[in-house]
Structure 1
Amino acid sequence: MSAASSQAEKAASPLRTELSGPHFLDGQFLVAMPGMADERFARSLIYICAHSADGAMGIIVNKAATDISMPDLLVQLDVAPEADAIRLRERVGHMPVLMGGPVEGRRGFVLHSDDFHIQQSTLIIDDGICLTATVEILRAIASGEGPASAVLALGYAGWQAGQLESEIMANGWLNCPADPALIFNADLDAKYDLALRANGIDPAMLSMTAGRA
Protein backbone atom coordinates (compact mmCIF):
# COMPACT_ATOMS: atom_id res chain seq x y z
CA MET A 1 0.00 0.00 0.00
CA SER A 2 1.30 3.42 -0.80
CA ALA A 3 -0.17 6.70 0.26
CA ALA A 4 0.44 7.85 -3.29
CA SER A 5 -0.08 5.01 -5.75
CA SER A 6 -1.33 1.48 -6.29
CA GLN A 7 2.24 0.21 -6.69
CA ALA A 8 2.19 -0.46 -2.95
CA GLU A 9 -0.05 -3.44 -3.56
CA LYS A 10 3.14 -5.44 -4.08
CA ALA A 11 4.59 -7.09 -0.98
CA ALA A 12 7.59 -5.34 0.53
CA SER A 13 10.90 -6.85 -0.54
CA PRO A 14 12.38 -6.96 3.02
CA LEU A 15 9.73 -9.55 3.90
CA ARG A 16 11.23 -12.04 1.48
CA THR A 17 14.35 -12.62 3.60
CA GLU A 18 14.86 -16.24 4.59
CA LEU A 19 14.69 -16.50 8.37
CA SER A 20 16.54 -19.03 10.46
CA GLY A 21 19.04 -19.32 13.28
CA PRO A 22 18.93 -19.12 17.07
CA HIS A 23 20.18 -15.54 17.45
CA PHE A 24 17.76 -13.73 15.19
CA LEU A 25 15.31 -11.34 16.79
CA ASP A 26 12.09 -11.90 14.82
CA GLY A 27 9.11 -11.14 17.01
CA GLN A 28 11.09 -9.19 19.62
CA PHE A 29 11.05 -5.55 20.64
CA LEU A 30 13.94 -3.16 20.25
CA VAL A 31 13.94 -0.34 22.79
CA ALA A 32 16.11 2.68 21.95
CA MET A 33 18.67 3.34 24.66
CA PRO A 34 19.51 6.83 25.96
CA GLY A 35 22.75 6.72 23.98
CA MET A 36 21.00 6.23 20.64
CA ALA A 37 23.06 8.27 18.19
CA ASP A 38 20.33 8.61 15.54
CA GLU A 39 17.79 11.14 16.80
CA ARG A 40 15.15 9.71 14.47
CA PHE A 41 14.98 6.67 16.76
CA ALA A 42 15.06 8.45 20.13
CA ARG A 43 12.65 6.70 22.56
CA SER A 44 11.54 4.37 19.78
CA LEU A 45 9.94 0.99 20.39
CA ILE A 46 10.41 -1.22 17.34
CA TYR A 47 8.83 -4.57 16.58
CA ILE A 48 11.23 -6.73 14.56
CA CYS A 49 9.40 -8.37 11.66
CA ALA A 50 12.33 -10.02 9.86
CA HIS A 51 15.92 -10.66 10.88
CA SER A 52 18.55 -12.83 9.23
CA ALA A 53 22.22 -12.81 8.35
CA ASP A 54 21.28 -10.53 5.44
CA GLY A 55 19.80 -7.77 7.62
CA ALA A 56 16.65 -6.83 9.48
CA MET A 57 13.45 -4.83 9.18
CA GLY A 58 11.05 -3.63 11.82
CA ILE A 59 8.20 -1.24 12.52
CA ILE A 60 8.27 1.62 15.02
CA VAL A 61 5.09 1.07 17.03
CA ASN A 62 5.03 4.11 19.33
CA LYS A 63 5.24 7.13 17.02
CA ALA A 64 2.26 8.58 15.18
CA ALA A 65 2.38 9.68 11.56
CA THR A 66 1.70 13.39 11.39
CA ASP A 67 -1.48 14.97 10.07
CA ILE A 68 -3.18 11.78 8.88
CA SER A 69 -5.90 9.59 10.32
CA MET A 70 -6.91 6.10 9.29
CA PRO A 71 -10.27 7.22 7.80
CA ASP A 72 -8.61 10.01 5.83
CA LEU A 73 -5.94 7.64 4.54
CA LEU A 74 -8.52 5.11 3.37
CA VAL A 75 -10.28 7.84 1.42
CA GLN A 76 -7.00 9.15 -0.07
CA LEU A 77 -6.12 5.66 -1.26
CA ASP A 78 -9.57 5.23 -2.87
CA VAL A 79 -10.12 2.24 -0.59
CA ALA A 80 -13.37 3.85 0.50
CA PRO A 81 -15.42 6.71 -0.98
CA GLU A 82 -15.37 10.09 0.73
CA ALA A 83 -19.11 9.72 1.36
CA ASP A 84 -18.26 6.93 3.81
CA ALA A 85 -15.99 9.13 5.94
CA ILE A 86 -18.41 9.25 8.89
CA ARG A 87 -18.85 5.47 8.89
CA LEU A 88 -15.10 5.02 8.67
CA ARG A 89 -14.50 7.31 11.64
CA GLU A 90 -16.85 5.18 13.71
CA ARG A 91 -15.28 1.93 12.55
CA VAL A 92 -11.55 2.65 12.30
CA GLY A 93 -11.11 6.13 13.74
CA HIS A 94 -9.43 4.59 16.80
CA MET A 95 -6.79 2.77 14.72
CA PRO A 96 -3.49 4.66 14.81
CA VAL A 97 -1.45 5.46 11.74
CA LEU A 98 2.18 5.05 12.74
CA MET A 99 5.43 6.52 11.50
CA GLY A 100 6.89 3.06 10.97
CA GLY A 101 10.41 4.17 10.07
CA PRO A 102 12.51 6.30 7.74
CA VAL A 103 12.65 3.81 4.85
CA GLU A 104 9.93 4.06 2.15
CA GLY A 105 7.89 6.44 4.26
CA ARG A 106 4.96 6.51 1.83
CA ARG A 107 4.54 2.75 1.83
CA GLY A 108 2.12 1.07 4.21
CA PHE A 109 2.53 -2.00 6.41
CA VAL A 110 -0.19 -3.45 8.62
CA LEU A 111 0.78 -5.30 11.79
CA HIS A 112 -2.21 -7.35 12.82
CA SER A 113 -3.58 -10.29 14.77
CA ASP A 114 -3.43 -13.75 13.20
CA ASP A 115 -7.17 -14.05 12.58
CA PHE A 116 -6.69 -12.56 9.10
CA HIS A 117 -4.50 -13.84 6.25
CA ILE A 118 -4.00 -13.08 2.58
CA GLN A 119 -2.40 -15.99 0.78
CA GLN A 120 1.18 -15.30 -0.35
CA SER A 121 1.01 -11.79 1.11
CA THR A 122 0.71 -12.19 4.88
CA LEU A 123 3.89 -12.88 6.83
CA ILE A 124 3.37 -14.78 10.09
CA ILE A 125 5.98 -13.39 12.48
CA ASP A 126 5.54 -14.71 16.01
CA ASP A 127 3.07 -15.14 18.88
CA GLY A 128 -0.07 -14.34 16.90
CA ILE A 129 1.38 -11.30 15.09
CA CYS A 130 1.34 -10.99 11.29
CA LEU A 131 2.41 -8.41 8.75
CA THR A 132 0.59 -7.68 5.50
CA ALA A 133 1.69 -5.08 2.96
CA THR A 134 -1.03 -5.21 0.30
CA VAL A 135 -3.96 -2.88 -0.18
CA GLU A 136 -6.44 -5.79 0.17
CA ILE A 137 -6.09 -5.71 3.94
CA LEU A 138 -7.12 -2.05 3.98
CA ARG A 139 -10.18 -2.89 1.94
CA ALA A 140 -11.04 -5.60 4.47
CA ILE A 141 -10.52 -3.20 7.38
CA ALA A 142 -12.67 -0.54 5.71
CA SER A 143 -15.49 -3.04 5.17
CA GLY A 144 -15.33 -4.34 8.73
CA GLU A 145 -13.94 -7.73 7.67
CA GLY A 146 -10.33 -7.21 8.66
CA PRO A 147 -8.34 -8.47 11.64
CA ALA A 148 -9.57 -7.95 15.19
CA SER A 149 -6.44 -5.92 16.04
CA ALA A 150 -4.29 -3.91 13.67
CA VAL A 151 -2.06 -0.88 13.31
CA LEU A 152 -1.01 0.72 10.04
CA ALA A 153 2.56 1.99 9.69
CA LEU A 154 3.95 4.20 6.96
CA GLY A 155 7.55 3.22 6.28
CA TYR A 156 9.84 0.88 8.17
CA ALA A 157 13.22 0.68 9.86
CA GLY A 158 15.86 -1.34 8.03
CA TRP A 159 19.37 -2.58 8.76
CA GLN A 160 22.01 -4.06 6.47
CA ALA A 161 23.84 -7.28 7.26
CA GLY A 162 25.45 -7.05 10.69
CA GLN A 163 24.32 -3.46 11.29
CA LEU A 164 21.67 -4.19 13.91
CA GLU A 165 23.98 -6.54 15.78
CA SER A 166 26.65 -3.83 15.90
CA GLU A 167 24.17 -1.24 17.20
CA ILE A 168 23.02 -3.59 19.96
CA MET A 169 26.63 -4.32 20.97
CA ALA A 170 27.23 -0.55 21.10
CA ASN A 171 24.29 -0.22 23.55
CA GLY A 172 22.12 1.59 21.03
CA TRP A 173 19.27 -0.88 21.52
CA LEU A 174 17.86 -3.15 24.19
CA ASN A 175 16.18 -6.25 22.78
CA CYS A 176 13.45 -7.94 24.81
CA PRO A 177 10.34 -10.12 24.34
CA ALA A 178 7.43 -8.41 22.60
CA ASP A 179 3.96 -8.16 24.11
CA PRO A 180 1.25 -8.34 21.41
CA ALA A 181 -1.12 -6.30 23.57
CA LEU A 182 1.46 -3.51 23.69
CA ILE A 183 1.83 -3.47 19.91
CA PHE A 184 -1.87 -2.63 19.53
CA ASN A 185 -2.09 -0.31 22.55
CA ALA A 186 -3.57 2.97 21.34
CA ASP A 187 -1.65 4.99 23.98
CA LEU A 188 1.48 5.57 21.89
CA ASP A 189 3.14 7.84 24.43
CA ALA A 190 3.04 5.13 27.12
CA LYS A 191 4.44 2.25 25.06
CA TYR A 192 8.14 2.99 25.54
CA ASP A 193 8.00 3.03 29.35
CA LEU A 194 5.55 0.11 29.47
CA ALA A 195 7.90 -2.06 27.41
CA LEU A 196 10.74 -1.34 29.81
CA ARG A 197 8.67 -1.94 32.93
CA ALA A 198 7.34 -5.21 31.50
CA ASN A 199 10.95 -6.40 31.52
CA GLY A 200 11.71 -5.21 35.03
CA ILE A 201 13.44 -1.97 34.05
CA ASP A 202 12.66 1.37 35.67
CA PRO A 203 12.84 3.94 32.85
CA ALA A 204 14.17 6.52 35.31
CA MET A 205 17.13 4.27 36.08
CA LEU A 206 17.94 3.37 32.50
CA SER A 207 21.50 4.28 31.61
CA MET A 208 23.63 4.26 28.49
CA THR A 209 25.47 1.21 29.84
CA ALA A 210 22.42 -1.06 30.13
CA GLY A 211 22.70 -4.42 28.40
CA ARG A 212 20.16 -6.95 27.20
CA ALA A 213 17.04 -7.83 29.13
Structure 2
Amino acid sequence: MEEQNFLVNKFLFFQEKSQDDYFYNALIYIFEHNENGALGLIINKSLPIEEEKIFSSIGLQNISSNKSILNGGPVEVTKLFVLHDDDSQKESISNVNGLCLTSSVDLLKDIGNGTNTCKYKLALGYCGWDAGQLDYEVSKNSWHIIDFNPLEIFNSEPEELISIISKTNGFDIDKIQHTDIITKH
Protein backbone atom coordinates (compact mmCIF):
# COMPACT_ATOMS: atom_id res chain seq x y z
CA MET A 1 0.00 0.00 0.00
CA GLU A 2 1.38 3.40 -0.99
CA GLU A 3 1.98 5.83 1.88
CA GLN A 4 0.04 9.08 1.63
CA ASN A 5 1.80 12.36 2.39
CA PHE A 6 -1.33 14.19 3.54
CA LEU A 7 -0.10 17.74 4.37
CA VAL A 8 3.64 17.01 4.32
CA ASN A 9 5.62 19.90 2.78
CA LYS A 10 2.73 22.32 3.23
CA PHE A 11 2.48 25.45 5.32
CA LEU A 12 -0.49 25.97 7.60
CA PHE A 13 -1.66 29.41 8.66
CA PHE A 14 -3.92 29.64 11.70
CA GLN A 15 -7.12 31.37 10.56
CA GLU A 16 -8.71 32.13 13.90
CA LYS A 17 -7.96 35.64 15.06
CA SER A 18 -8.17 35.46 18.85
CA GLN A 19 -4.95 37.04 20.11
CA ASP A 20 -5.30 34.89 23.23
CA ASP A 21 -4.74 31.72 21.20
CA TYR A 22 -1.23 30.22 21.20
CA PHE A 23 -1.38 29.83 17.42
CA TYR A 24 -2.50 33.41 16.69
CA ASN A 25 -0.87 34.36 13.34
CA ALA A 26 1.21 31.16 13.42
CA LEU A 27 2.71 29.84 10.21
CA ILE A 28 3.59 26.15 10.56
CA TYR A 29 5.59 23.95 8.24
CA ILE A 30 4.44 20.30 8.29
CA PHE A 31 7.22 17.69 8.32
CA GLU A 32 5.18 14.59 9.06
CA HIS A 33 1.49 13.86 8.61
CA ASN A 34 0.04 10.40 8.40
CA GLU A 35 -2.63 8.19 9.94
CA ASN A 36 -0.81 8.38 13.31
CA GLY A 37 -0.77 12.19 13.56
CA ALA A 38 1.30 15.16 12.46
CA LEU A 39 4.44 17.10 13.36
CA GLY A 40 5.38 20.62 12.37
CA LEU A 41 7.27 23.74 13.44
CA ILE A 42 6.09 27.30 13.81
CA ILE A 43 8.51 29.12 11.53
CA ASN A 44 7.45 32.75 11.88
CA LYS A 45 7.82 33.39 15.61
CA SER A 46 11.08 33.86 17.50
CA LEU A 47 12.00 33.48 21.14
CA PRO A 48 14.11 36.07 22.98
CA ILE A 49 17.03 33.62 23.04
CA GLU A 50 20.06 33.96 20.79
CA GLU A 51 21.84 31.02 19.17
CA GLU A 52 25.05 31.95 20.96
CA LYS A 53 23.53 30.68 24.22
CA ILE A 54 22.66 27.33 22.65
CA PHE A 55 26.15 26.91 21.18
CA SER A 56 27.82 27.80 24.49
CA SER A 57 25.58 25.28 26.30
CA ILE A 58 27.22 22.49 24.27
CA GLY A 59 30.74 23.76 24.85
CA LEU A 60 31.23 25.91 21.76
CA GLN A 61 32.34 29.21 23.28
CA ASN A 62 33.57 31.22 20.32
CA ILE A 63 30.38 31.29 18.30
CA SER A 64 29.05 34.79 17.83
CA SER A 65 25.57 34.44 16.44
CA ASN A 66 22.85 36.90 17.26
CA LYS A 67 20.20 34.95 15.34
CA SER A 68 17.12 34.23 17.43
CA ILE A 69 15.75 30.79 18.13
CA LEU A 70 12.38 29.90 16.60
CA ASN A 71 9.43 29.19 18.87
CA GLY A 72 8.73 25.82 17.26
CA GLY A 73 5.55 25.09 19.18
CA PRO A 74 3.95 24.19 22.49
CA VAL A 75 5.09 20.54 22.69
CA GLU A 76 8.39 19.70 24.42
CA VAL A 77 9.36 23.37 24.64
CA THR A 78 12.85 22.54 25.96
CA LYS A 79 13.69 20.17 23.08
CA LEU A 80 15.99 21.72 20.49
CA PHE A 81 15.44 21.09 16.79
CA VAL A 82 17.72 21.94 13.88
CA LEU A 83 15.87 22.88 10.71
CA HIS A 84 18.43 22.48 7.89
CA ASP A 85 19.07 21.77 4.22
CA ASP A 86 21.67 18.97 4.53
CA ASP A 87 19.80 15.91 3.28
CA SER A 88 22.83 13.68 3.91
CA GLN A 89 22.09 13.67 7.66
CA LYS A 90 20.83 10.18 8.49
CA GLU A 91 19.08 11.19 11.73
CA SER A 92 16.90 13.78 10.01
CA ILE A 93 13.37 13.81 8.76
CA SER A 94 14.03 14.66 5.11
CA ASN A 95 11.51 15.90 2.60
CA VAL A 96 11.74 15.83 -1.17
CA ASN A 97 12.19 19.59 -1.29
CA GLY A 98 15.47 19.63 0.64
CA LEU A 99 14.16 20.84 3.99
CA CYS A 100 15.18 18.58 6.89
CA LEU A 101 14.59 18.40 10.63
CA THR A 102 16.66 16.77 13.36
CA SER A 103 17.26 16.94 17.09
CA SER A 104 20.81 15.61 16.69
CA VAL A 105 23.37 17.46 18.82
CA ASP A 106 26.07 16.14 16.46
CA LEU A 107 24.79 18.28 13.60
CA LEU A 108 24.58 21.30 15.90
CA LYS A 109 28.22 20.75 16.94
CA ASP A 110 29.28 20.37 13.30
CA ILE A 111 27.55 23.65 12.45
CA GLY A 112 29.17 25.38 15.42
CA ASN A 113 32.62 24.00 14.57
CA GLY A 114 32.24 25.02 10.94
CA THR A 115 32.53 21.45 9.63
CA ASN A 116 28.98 21.61 8.25
CA THR A 117 28.04 24.74 6.35
CA CYS A 118 24.40 23.88 5.73
CA LYS A 119 21.71 26.52 5.98
CA TYR A 120 19.91 26.12 9.29
CA LYS A 121 17.60 27.59 11.91
CA LEU A 122 17.20 26.43 15.50
CA ALA A 123 13.84 25.91 17.19
CA LEU A 124 12.66 25.02 20.67
CA GLY A 125 9.52 22.89 20.82
CA TYR A 126 7.25 21.63 18.08
CA CYS A 127 3.61 21.33 17.09
CA GLY A 128 2.06 17.89 17.34
CA TRP A 129 -1.34 16.46 16.52
CA ASP A 130 -2.78 13.07 17.43
CA ALA A 131 -4.27 10.75 14.81
CA GLY A 132 -7.03 12.57 12.92
CA GLN A 133 -6.72 15.77 14.97
CA LEU A 134 -5.14 17.95 12.29
CA ASP A 135 -7.49 16.53 9.64
CA TYR A 136 -10.45 17.52 11.83
CA GLU A 137 -9.07 21.03 12.43
CA VAL A 138 -8.49 21.51 8.69
CA SER A 139 -12.05 20.32 7.96
CA LYS A 140 -13.33 22.99 10.38
CA ASN A 141 -11.31 25.68 8.54
CA SER A 142 -9.02 26.39 11.47
CA TRP A 143 -6.01 26.20 9.16
CA HIS A 144 -5.39 27.63 5.70
CA ILE A 145 -3.15 25.33 3.61
CA ILE A 146 -0.44 27.14 1.65
CA ASP A 147 2.06 26.02 -0.98
CA PHE A 148 5.35 27.89 -0.82
CA ASN A 149 9.04 27.15 -1.34
CA PRO A 150 10.12 26.03 2.14
CA LEU A 151 13.77 26.86 1.51
CA GLU A 152 12.73 30.53 1.73
CA ILE A 153 12.67 29.94 5.49
CA PHE A 154 16.47 30.28 5.40
CA ASN A 155 16.45 33.46 3.31
CA SER A 156 14.05 35.49 5.43
CA GLU A 157 13.57 36.70 8.95
CA PRO A 158 10.80 34.71 10.67
CA GLU A 159 8.59 37.75 11.15
CA GLU A 160 8.75 38.57 7.41
CA LEU A 161 7.51 35.20 6.15
CA ILE A 162 3.78 35.99 6.21
CA SER A 163 4.35 39.10 4.10
CA ILE A 164 6.64 37.23 1.67
CA ILE A 165 4.21 34.32 1.27
CA SER A 166 1.33 36.76 0.77
CA LYS A 167 3.18 38.57 -2.04
CA THR A 168 4.16 35.29 -3.69
CA ASN A 169 0.62 33.87 -3.55
CA GLY A 170 -1.09 37.11 -4.55
CA PHE A 171 -3.28 37.53 -1.47
CA ASP A 172 -2.78 38.67 2.11
CA ILE A 173 -2.94 35.51 4.22
CA ASP A 174 -3.03 37.64 7.35
CA LYS A 175 -6.51 38.82 6.33
CA ILE A 176 -7.94 35.32 5.98
CA GLN A 177 -10.34 34.40 8.75
CA HIS A 178 -12.43 31.40 9.68
CA THR A 179 -16.01 31.96 8.46
CA ASP A 180 -17.56 31.31 11.88
CA ILE A 181 -15.39 34.03 13.37
CA ILE A 182 -16.34 36.53 10.66
CA THR A 183 -20.05 35.99 11.38
CA LYS A 184 -19.50 36.61 15.11
CA HIS A 185 -18.45 40.23 14.50
TM-score by length of 1: 0.76
Distance verdict in 2 for CA 1:55–1:204, change over 3 Å: closer
* Aligned residue pair count: 179
Contact 2:52 2:66 in 1 (8 A): no
Identify the residue that residue 132 of structure 2 maps to in structure 1. 162
TM-score by length of 2: 0.86
Give the 5 Å matches for 1:1-213: 20-21=3-4, 24-35=6-17, 39-66=21-48, 68-78=49-59, 80=60, 82=61, 84=62, 88-89=63-64, 93=65, 95-114=67-86, 117-119=88-90, 121-203=91-173, 205-209=175-179
**Mapped partners of 2:112, 2:31: distance in 1:** 24
**Mapped partners of 2:18, 2:137: distance in 1:** 9
The alpha carbon displacement at 1:27 in A equals 1.1
1:174 aligns to what SS in structure 2? strand
**Mapped partners of 2:113, 2:66: distance in 1:** 15
**Mapped partners of 1:208, 1:146: distance in 2:** 43
The alpha carbon displacement at 1:204 in A equals 6.1
Which runs of 5 or more residues in structure 1 are unaligned?
Answer: 1-18
In structure 1, give the amino acid aligned to 2:83. L
Aligned-CA RMSD value: 2.3
The alpha carbon displacement at 1:35 in A equals 4.3
The alpha carbon displacement at 1:156 in A equals 0.2
1:137 aligns to what SS in structure 2? helix
State the identity %: 33
The alpha carbon displacement at 1:77 in A equals 2.7
